[in-house]
Chains A and B, each alone.
Chain A
Amino acid sequence: MNRTPVLRLTAVGLGLSLLAACGSGGTDAPGASGGDGGAQTITWWHNSNTGEGKTYYDQVAKDFEKSHPGTTVQVSAMQHEDMLTKLDAAFQSGDAPDVYMERGGGELADHVEAGLTKDLSASAGDVIGTLGGSVAGWQVDGKTYALPFSVGVVGFWYNKALFEKAGITAAPTTWDEFYAAVDKLKAAGIAPVSVGAGDKWPAAHYWYYFSARECAQQTLTDAVKSLKFSDPCFVKAGDDVQRLVAAKPFNAGFLSTPAQTGPTSASGLLATGKVAMELQGHWEPGVMQGLTADGKGLGENTGWFPFPAVDGGAGDPKAQLGGGDAWGVSQDAPEVAVEFAKYLLSDQVQKGFAEKSMGLPTNPAAASSVGDPALAGLLKVRDEAPYVQLYFDTAFGAAVGGAMNDEIALMFAGKATPQQIVDKTQAAADESK
């Protein structure tokens, strides 16, 4: 439907940068580009591997090829977890894709330290300017290393029809209301919440969020820098999680449930109406679409509410846990890869991205294109949040975050105490210093 304007804009908008790319290519490496007429291939890894999102990104790559003759974009669309594993392997072998997803935080800092990612501060300065504050998560020492294309927050996705059936009239705003809703759902014979504790991070999100509610912003900011978890608010967060697990709101077999692979995963259970809600990120509508036969997910029954406030917590109840994905360009990638990353952040690509509910656009020009009412509500919450706390496992990096996630998953199984989460996390942090 909107392919033609996309093409036209692409041709006009990128004709100039194409010329620029050719020019610089000629002066930088006359020997290399002289023989093959500047023909080059860039590899692009993304995780929109199902349905509309995949089709859209294939089209985006084709459009870019059309406006950059001689450039081939080799697209690899992978399931999210697979992509992360492959990226790690690719970084090890020094054969990283040219354009790939960076999640910011400690991970990005590691990549920067190892010299794997390109500094885009200058080459993509114009794009960085339009993105405003959302690039902060992808900056190391004041330099920007990746262009965030989707920044969102975690919250409860729910099935409006099931809530109605259980007689829940308003989305819970406090934990007392939440527990009341859980009781109502159980009374109606509906499994209240699904969680993919088999993959650990979905379970860990609860602990992160309770920490964000129990701990003051300064405490969290300090912890990311000092790697010290001595503030008692972290233990209190564990107490909150323990209370939640004890209320047994989760789907049967949640300890071995995967996050988002297959119809019996946590997201699949929500998408197919087998549970009423799930704590998940902004990508959930897209994931649910991929997990339902009609490709619609929950459709008009999709609802969203933010993580409820905790009585007496030191954290701002409007603060959100979240994060996003950004396009990073690897150090050895050709210049045209930077052009491609910039193109992915352009108004037209971001608008299409928003219209297809693939995420929450960072380009302000695309904000109004978010059609899904649930996502539009989430976008409002994101923009009103005093701060968005980056997922702890990303913020602290794999070594600390992994130990944290493992221990939180143990608590979900009833095999770890709130204090143990803090202790194990601290031990891993000390080990990584």
Chain B
Amino acid sequence: MPGRGTSRPGTGPGESRTGRDATGTGRGARGRRDRGARSVDPRVGSRGRQRLEVLLFTGPALVLFALFVVWPIAKALQFSVYRWKGFGPLTDFVGLRNYGNVLQNEVFTGALVHNLVIVVASIAIQLPLGIAIALLLNRKMWGQGLLRTVVFVPYVLSEVITGVVWFQLLQPQYGVVDTLLAAVGLDGPAEGWLGTPDRALLTVLVVLTWKYLGLAVILFLAGLQGVPDELFEAAEIDGASWGQIQRRITLPLLGPTLRTWAFLSMIGSLQLFDMVWILTGGGPANSTTTMATFLVNEGTKRQNYGVAAAASVVLFVVALVLALTYQRFVLRRDLDTDGGRR
């Protein structure tokens, strides 16, 4: 052992080792570990080295994750048990009272209902529409590229821009939508599309569909491209009609894509904020509040940061439960090793 150590600098193996060590930084450490490895178990060294590599490569990501995900969640949990105006020290411990306030608040429970309506409606509207458009666009046809672009452009626009543009389009009387309606002899709602409590959520849903249909179509199209052509050819040879092919082959094979998209859509709908905030601010008469607009309103407008934090924790739990349930019962087949082909 000592002999090997002293002879190392000049020996062949030593030179070759340093030669391999291109970075030069971890040289000493690596040499030491290699030596230990040989003396005990050849595999331990490589395992330790693996650990170090894992740590090295995931380290930065882990630090960021801790800083921007774990830390904020922990802070939200902490704020949610204090009464806090948003500045100054945390002194006013109130236990779970903020949670009681949130869960008994009819604006929040209304917001929860709105979120669930948006989850269900988004899937119910965008799924059939998206599949229909994707199937259409998947055929060879004239103007296909243009159509794809037209469908996808709304998704590329930022939420804020979309919201502002639609807010202007939907202005009562002077807005483009009402002007166009008037041109064909129809009237928009007297108080405006976004100003009528009974109609505002529906209007928001229409704008959301306009915005997010493009994502569904693009994902479904990508899924369709993954279906091997031979299957279609074989079916065609067997005399199957276009409709039969779609029903029996395309849709089942599109399953994993559809389920993943539905998952994204659900989580997005639960966290919906920007569009509602710009279009209606959660109004009129709280008819379009979502859990996210509720918590921002409580925090920034009312300076009840404790209540807002409690609402954010509730939103987090709702999303987590829904996500885990969905993964457990729906997505699991896609996560199996056979790739979801049942």
Select the stretch in B83-91, B132-140, B265-273 that faces chain A.
Answer: B83-91
The contact string, 1 if C-beta is below 8 Å from chain B, for chain A 407-432, is 00110011100000000000010010
In the bound complex, CA of A280 to CA of B168 (Å) = 23
Does A198 belong to the interface (CB within 8 Å)?
yes
Q: Are B86 and A253 interface neighbours, CB within 8 A?
A: no
Asked if B303 and A114 sit within 8 Å, CB to CB, the answer is no
Q: Chain B nearest CB: distance from A290 CB in Å?
A: 17
Closest chain A CB from B173 CB (angstroms): 5
Q: Which of B192, B286, B302 contacts A398 (CB 8 A)?
A: B302
Q: How far is the CA of A428 from the CA of B197 in the complex (A)?
A: 25
Q: Which residues from 265 to 312 on chain B have a C-beta closer than 8 Å to any C-beta of chain A? A: 280-281, 283-286, 297, 300-304
- A198 in contact with B88 (CB, 8 Å): no
Structural contact, B86 and A88, CB atoms closer than 8 A: yes
**Among B88, B190, B194, B285, contact of A413 (Cβ-Cβ < 8 Å):** B285
Q: A399 contacts B194, CB within 8 Å?
A: no
Q: Are B286 and A399 in contact (CB under 8 A)?
A: no
B285's partner among A88, A110, A255, A431 (CB-CB below 8 A) is: A255
Does B130 sit within 8 A of A, measured CB to CB?
no
Residue in chain B with minimal CB distance to A91: B87
Cβ of A253 and Cβ of B195 under 8 Å apart? yes
B-chain residues with CB within 8 Å of residue A199 when the two chains form the complex: 281
Q: Do A402 and B87 have beta carbons less than 8 Å apart?
A: no
CB of A115 closer than 8 Å to a CB of B = yes
Chain A contacts for B300, CB-based, 8 A: 85, 88
Tally of A-B residue pairs with Cβ under 8 A?
Answer: 95
Q: Are B285 and A252 in contact (CB under 8 A)?
A: no
A110–B300 CA distance with the chains assembled, in angstroms: 15
Provide the residues of chain A in CB contact with B303, threshold 8 Å: 88, 110, 397-399, 402
Closest to A262 in B: B168
Mark out the residues of chain A between 110 and 126 whose CB falls within 8 Å of any chain B CB in the assembled complex. Answer: 110-111, 113-116
Smallest CB separation, A186 vs chain B (Å): 14
Write the nearest CB–CB distance from A107 to chain B, whole angstroms.
Answer: 9
Number of interface residues of B (CB under 8 A): 32
Q: Are A256 and B301 in contact (CB under 8 A)?
A: no
- Contact B286–A410 (Cβ < 8 Å): yes
| B174 surroundings in chain A (CB, below 8 A) | 264, 274
Using CB atoms, name the residue of chain B closest to A274. Answer: B174
Set of chain B residues within 8 Å of A262, measured between Cβ atoms: 168
Q: Nearest chain-A residue to B171 (Cβ)?
A: A264
Cβ-based interface call for A385 (8 A): no
- With a cutoff of 8 Å between Cβ atoms, the chain B residues found around residue A414 in the complex are 285
B298's nearest neighbour on chain A, judged by CB, is A402
Q: Are B192 and A256 in contact (CB under 8 A)?
A: yes
A92 contacts chain B at the CB level, 8 A cutoff: yes
Residue B111 interfacial (CB < 8 Å): no
Do residues A256 and B280 form an inter-chain contact, with CB atoms below 8 A? yes
Question: In the complex, what's the smallest C-beta–C-beta distance from A409 to chain B, in angstroms?
Answer: 7
How far does the alpha carbon of A115 sit from the alpha carbon of B87 in the complex, in Å?
Answer: 10
> Are the C-beta atoms of A253 and B191 separated by less than 8 Å?
yes
Task: Give the distance in Å from the alpha carbon of A428 to the alpha carbon of B298 in the complex.
Answer: 12
Known: A252-B192, A256-B200. A114 touches B286 (CB 8 A): no
B-side contacts of A110, CB under 8 Å: 85, 87, 303
Check if B163 is an interface residue, CB within 8 A of chain A. Answer: no
Q: How many angstroms from the CA of A422 to the CA of B7 in the assembled complex?
A: 90
Is residue A257 contacting chain B, with contact meaning CB distance below 8 A? yes
Is B172 positioned at the interface, with any CB of A under 8 Å from its CB? Answer: yes
CA distance A256 to B107 in the complex (A): 18
Contact with B along A232-256 (1 / 0, CB 8 A): 0000000000000000000011111
Q: What CA separation (Å) do A85 and B300 show in the bound complex?
A: 7
For window 372-404 of A, CB contacts with B under 8 Å fall at 397-399, 402-403
Cβ distance B218 to chain A, nearest Cβ, rounded Å = 32
Is A115's CB under 8 angstroms from B194's CB?
no
Cβ contacts under 8 Å, A256 to chain B: 192, 194-195, 200, 280-281, 283-284
Contacts of B107 in A (CB 8 A): 406
| B197 & A415 in contact (Cβ 8 Å cutoff) | yes
A255 to B175, CA, bound (A): 16
Q: Is the CB of A409 within 8 A of B283?
A: yes
A252 partner residues in chain B, CB cutoff 8 A: 172-173, 190-192, 195
Q: A217 to chain B: closest CB distance in Å? A: 27
* Contact (A198, B281) CB under 8 Å given A88-B300, A402-B303, A403-B302: yes
Question: Mask for B105-132, Cβ within 8 A of A = 1, else 0?
Answer: 0010000000000000000000000000
Task: Tell me the bound Cα distance from A92 to B87 in angstroms.
Answer: 5
Whether A92 touches B197, Cβ cut-off 8 Å, given contacts A256-B192, A256-B283, is no
Alpha-carbon distance between A155 and B303 when the two chains are bound, in angstroms: 28
Q: How far is the CA of A114 from the CA of B303 in the complex (A)?
A: 14
User: What are 6 A-B contacts defined by CB distance under 8 Å?
Assistant: A92-B87, A252-B172, A253-B172, A254-B191, A397-B303, A410-B286
Q: Which residues of A contact B (CB under 8 A)?
A: 85, 88, 91-92, 110-111, 113-116, 197-199, 252-257, 262, 264, 274, 397-399, 402-403, 406, 409-410, 413-415, 428, 431
A-B contacts besides A198-B284, A255-B195, 13 pairs, CB < 8 Å: A92-B86, A110-B87, A111-B87, A114-B87, A115-B88, A197-B284, A253-B173, A253-B195, A255-B284, A264-B174, A402-B297, A413-B283, A431-B101
Q: 7 shortest A-B CB distances, which residue pairs?
A: A253-B192, A402-B302, A255-B284, A253-B195, A114-B88, A413-B285, A253-B172
